[in-house]
Structure 1
Amino acid sequence: MDLQQRINAFVQLGTFLREISSESISKTSSSKFHNQIPQILQAAQNNNRWFTETNIKFAFASWGHALTETTINSWLSSYSITQKIPNTIAIIMAGNIPLVGFHDFLSVLMSGNKVLAKLSSNDNILLPFLVSFLVEQHSDFKESIQLTEKKVTNFDAVIATGSDNTARYFEYYFGKYPHIIRKNRNSVAVLTGKETEEQLLSLSDDIFQYFGLGCRNVSKLFIPKEYDFHPFFEAMFNKKEYINNHKYINNYDYNKAVYLMSNIKLLDNEFLLLKQDSGYSSPISVVFYETYEDLSELQTKFSEDKDRIQAIVGNSGIAGEIPFGKAQQPTLWDYADGVDTMKFLVEL
């Protein structure tokens, strides 16, 4: 199976994902894969109540947008991908948001290697479904993809994603293999007080998409002193429906109770808590905030803390910023933890 065949198969997958994320098309199509979507969505939601239909379809749409021939070719143009004896790459997948391990899966196959993916029990429905679509497009994928929920064995290299605690475990067991091991990271937003209503509404997507469970979700704000939170909270009200999700609101109620019992000062709009805190990793339903005096000093802080930050959202002029609303819409060349996965794979 050559590179162009692999590209063609993923382009077809991209078209399919765009279709199934569109309500009108998914209802009228007669293809057997389209017809399976209601069952797949229900099974994924039953397995993990954080995986709402809205969030799953958002993940489908995001990948559908990324998997076009133009975008894939632009991404791969930076690498020399040649025919070679494939390595088997073990991918230890997280399960915090739908299809969170898909970029690693895509990269391994595009590099000409084989996938041995250990699925998270929290996300073991969606990827097998997409694999069945790929195999239908090109049967050679059968020999290149193995999915399991058991211990992985017989592999040549490892890509593992988890927490700081699991990273120590990964280092112990996989350290002797070529590897990429990812740890905890969080995303931040830099506010100046000059943001437009549209920008703050977009920021609400960066905070609330996937209930804030992704490493690219904004979990902390950096604000100037004397910042007026009124426009911020008005924009966040756009997500008031989150109060109707029982898992989310249970976290909100719990965190609020813990903080109040500890006499911790909070800002609260009845479904989102803001807490002044120097940390980066805030609990679900909570966003930390910290004040700054000078953007250049903030730039220095981000440089010093680069191993803790996944993405910086804003319009302040800070180096490396991405626009409001784009935190959970990375491009194919936006690598997790800033580690070039494709370069690692083609150089094995």
Structure 2
Amino acid sequence: MNLQQRIVLLNRLGEYILQNNDNWQATKEKAGLQNPWFIPEFIDLASRNIALAFLQKDKLTAWANQYNIPTDNATPKNIGIVMAGNIPLVGFHDFLCAFITGHRQTIKPSSKDDVLIKHLVQQLYEWDESTRQLITFSEMLKNCDAYIATGSNNSARYFEYYFSKYPHIIRRNRTSVAILTGEETPEELDELADDVYQYFGLGCRNVTKLYVPGQYDFLPLLNAFKKYDHLIDLHKYKHNYDYMLAVLILNKQYYMTNQSILLNENKELFSPISQLNFEYYKPDERPENLLAGNADVQCIVGKNHLPFGKAQQPSLTDYADGVDILKFLLEL
């Protein structure tokens, strides 16, 4: 299978997602039953972003041309991919990179997110039988030539141990922050709500901490966040909200809330589900300087940084942890 054939197949996969036929709807429903955090709203959001940002023929062609991907891969390697399961189809970009470069891949999907990726690969099997030679699934990744593994900080230590002898990319926990000036428009605060609430804040590109100037007025922010008030009706989310509220009250910590999220002054970058940390900065301080080189930060949202509302809309070249996967795969 040459590069052009692979691009045509990927484009067809994007069209399949957007057509939203009965098979795809049933698959999304099954994925939601398997993982209650995968609500229809967020499965649709993730799959549509993939279809529109990744699986368009012109974008795939330009991406391939940028790296001079050869028409045929004369020496394909077997890439072992360990996928995470924090948000729907979070490992799709790794799959896409391996597929477009013509390598074989053996995927170990997360038990929390194996329904969607297996269904999409099954579509490729049905459209072109030769894809079965390029994509397989396995619970044990042995005899691979290189590895791409995503997991927690704890699992990353095991990945380092097991995969150290092979070329590898290993990802750990990361999160994102937003830097506010107090001059944001209502529209920008509305878009910031997407960066915070989408996928319940479970993604590495979700904003889990705000940096705000002294005397910042939180009321417009809390009002803008009301667009996601409906999440509090979901049992799992409300359970987290109630628990974190109880913890803050018992510890006599100051908090603010709009009844769907808790704002807590906290220096930690990572915040629990339903809580958003914030920290004040002084007029002569630049929070981005404090964050420079911090391995825990995936994205910075704000003016002169990633635009509000775009954190969960990565492009083909927005590589996780800033590691160029395509370059890594082409140099094997």
TM-score over 0.5 (shorter chain): yes
Asked if structure 1 preserves the Cα contact closer than 8 Å seen for 2:262 and 2:276, the reply is yes
SS in 2 for 1:117: strand
Residue type of the partner of 2:42?
N
What is aligned with 2:256? 267
SS in 1 for 2:292: helix
CA distance in 1, matches of 2:284, 2:211: 10
Bigger CA drift: 79-88 or 152-161? 79-88
CA distance in 2, matches of 1:250, 1:146: 38
The one of 132, 143, 147 equivalent to 2:137 is 147
The one of 78, 88, 92 equivalent to 2:66 is 78
What is aligned with 2:8? 8
What is aligned with 1:29? none
What is aligned with 1:37? 24
The one of 305, 319, 334 equivalent to 2:318 is 334
Bigger CA drift: 254-263 or 233-242? 254-263
Asked if structure 2 preserves the Cα contact closer than 8 Å seen for 1:89 and 1:157, the reply is yes
Gaps of 5+ in 2: none
Instruction: Say whether 1:313 aligns with 2:266.
Output: no
What is aligned with 1:179? 168
SS in 1 for 2:69: coil
CA distance in 1, matches of 2:92, 2:40: 18
TM-score, with structure 1 as normaliser: 0.92
What is aligned with 1:280? 269
Residue type of the partner of 1:97?
I
Asked if structure 1 preserves the Cα contact closer than 8 Å seen for 2:104 and 2:135, the reply is yes
Residue type of the partner of 1:263?
K
What is aligned with 1:129? 119
Asked if structure 2 preserves the Cα contact closer than 8 Å seen for 1:80 and 1:346, the reply is no
TM-score, with structure 2 as normaliser: 0.96
Q: Percent identity?
A: 45
* Deviation for aligned residue 1:172: 0.9
Asked if structure 1 preserves the Cα contact closer than 8 Å seen for 2:223 and 2:258, the reply is no
Asked if structure 1 preserves the Cα contact closer than 8 Å seen for 2:6 and 2:100, the reply is yes
What is aligned with 1:227? 216
SS in 2 for 1:64: helix
Asked if structure 2 preserves the Cα contact closer than 8 Å seen for 1:81 and 1:112, the reply is no
User: Compared with structure 1, are the counterparts of its residues 245 and 200 closer, same or farther at alpha carbon in structure 2 (3 Å cutoff)?
Assistant: same
* Deviation for aligned residue 1:111: 1.2
Residue type of the partner of 1:101?
G
Bigger CA drift: 257-266 or 182-191? 257-266
User: Compared with structure 1, are the counterparts of its residues 328 and 143 closer, same or farther at alpha carbon in structure 2 (3 Å cutoff)?
Assistant: same
The one of 188, 203, 207 equivalent to 1:214 is 203
What is aligned with 2:45? 58
CA distance in 2, matches of 1:142, 1:85: 17
CA distance in 1, matches of 2:262, 2:159: 34
C-alpha distance after superposition, 1:92-139 (max 9, x if no partner): 110010000000000001111011010111001000110011122222
The one of 289, 292, 298 equivalent to 1:303 is 292
- The count of residues paired between Structure 1 and Structure 2 equals 329
CA distance in 2, matches of 1:4, 1:295: 53
* Deviation for aligned residue 1:61: 0.6
C-alpha distance after superposition, 1:278-323 (max 9, x if no partner): 1111000011111112476322112132x111111112x3xxx111
Residue type of the partner of 2:207?
V
SS in 1 for 2:131: helix
SS in 1 for 2:154: helix
Asked if structure 2 preserves the Cα contact closer than 8 Å seen for 1:252 and 1:286, the reply is yes
The one of 104, 107, 119 equivalent to 2:109 is 119
SS in 2 for 1:43: helix
* Deviation for aligned residue 1:174: 1.0
CA distance in 1, matches of 2:181, 2:63: 33
CA distance in 2, matches of 1:195, 1:14: 35
CA distance in 2, matches of 1:7, 1:304: 36
C-alpha distance after superposition, 1:9-38 (max 9, x if no partner): 101111122222xxxxxxxxxxxxx22123
Gaps of 5+ in 1: 21-33
Residue type of the partner of 1:256?
L
* Deviation for aligned residue 1:54: 1.1
Residue type of the partner of 2:198?
Q
Residue type of the partner of 2:325?
T
Residue type of the partner of 1:329?
Q
C-alpha distance after superposition, 1:195-216 (max 9, x if no partner): 1111111111111111111011
Asked if structure 1 preserves the Cα contact closer than 8 Å seen for 2:31 and 2:113, the reply is yes
SS in 1 for 2:209: strand
